[in-house]
Amino acid sequence: MQENLRDVEQDGKNSKTAVISFPLTKTLARGGEKSSRCRAGWKEFKDHCYFFSTDKKRGKRQRFVECRNLGGYLTQVTDSAENSWIVSMITSKKVIQQNYWMGANDFKEGDWRWVNDLSKVHFTSWQSSQPDNSRGKEDCGHFAQGYNYQWNDQQCNDNFAFICESPLGSNCLPYSRLLKSAVSGK
């Protein structure tokens, strides 16, 4: 972190302005490990940051809003590498092992979309008998603990944890909210 003080003249008054800069590149942490470019509590994979909640939210709206409040969206799994990484985070016990909601839904039956931007779900990792829309009420996708974290459709109001995602360069970067509030004075 660099801090420079500059003399600034405003309306005939002298004042000091602090310029603080934070490097946004990866650096080596102790032990030679690469440090994350994501803020504390988030995990980095490729060009995104992920937050594995420990809080179980009831209802799709609560999960969606919570991810938005954290600066992200319910995770959108776009390929097998991303899916494998998420499953490995859960199974390696780097996060709590439980069911996790993602952002997939089929509110129009059989038409699976990502709730964040309504784009079509192209990559899937459904358990062999899923999705099955059991009892005609299963419209939300999740990583199912009972299926070794393959995907399952489930009733959206079930009480599971959830995964938020945010691209690097957005609110998942360290201090972005702090800097924004420092600039605005709020």
Q: What is the pTM of this model?
A: 0.73
Name which of 169, 186, 179, 182 is nearest 44 in CA terms.
169
Cβ–Cβ < 8 Å for 158, 59: no
Distance (Å) of CA 77 to CA 13, 31, 56, 63, 70: 54, 31, 20, 16, 19
For residues 112 and 109, give the distance between their C-alpha atoms in angstroms, rounded to a whole number: 8
Looking at every residue in the chain, the average pLDDT score rounds to 79
Ranges in the chain, pLDDT < 70: 1-35, 58, 171-186
Interstrand relation of 100-105 and 161-167 (parallel, antiparallel or unpaired): parallel
Cβ–Cβ < 8 Å for 177, 171: yes
